[in-house]
Amino acid sequence: MSGFKNPKTTVADEPNAVRFGFTTQSENWNGRFAMIGFLSVVLIEAFSGQGFLHFWGIL
C-alpha cells in the first residue's frame, strides 16, 4: 500500500475555493473584493473629477 494516494482534497489544497464562514479562503475573497471596490472608487474619482458620493448624487 505504499503507492496508495488519498483521493480526497483538503481545504489547504484548494486556496481559491469558495468557503463560507471564517476561513482563510473566505478572507482571501473578501480582500480581493475590497481591492476591486477601492480601485473602482479611485477610478471613478479620477475620470469624473468628482468625489464618489457626489458622482452617485448622495451629497
3-state secondary structure the chain: CCCCCCCCCCHHHCCCCCCCCCCHHHHHHHHHHHHHHHHHHHHHHHHHCCCHHHHCCCC
| Nine-digit cell string for 59 | 451629497
How much is the mean pLDDT over the chain?
80
Express each pLDDT in 23-49 by its tens digit.
888 888 899 999 999 999 999 999 988
| Nine-digit cell string for 34 | 475590497
Whole-angstrom Cα distance, residue 43 to residue 19? 30
What pLDDT score was predicted for residue 6?
Answer: 61
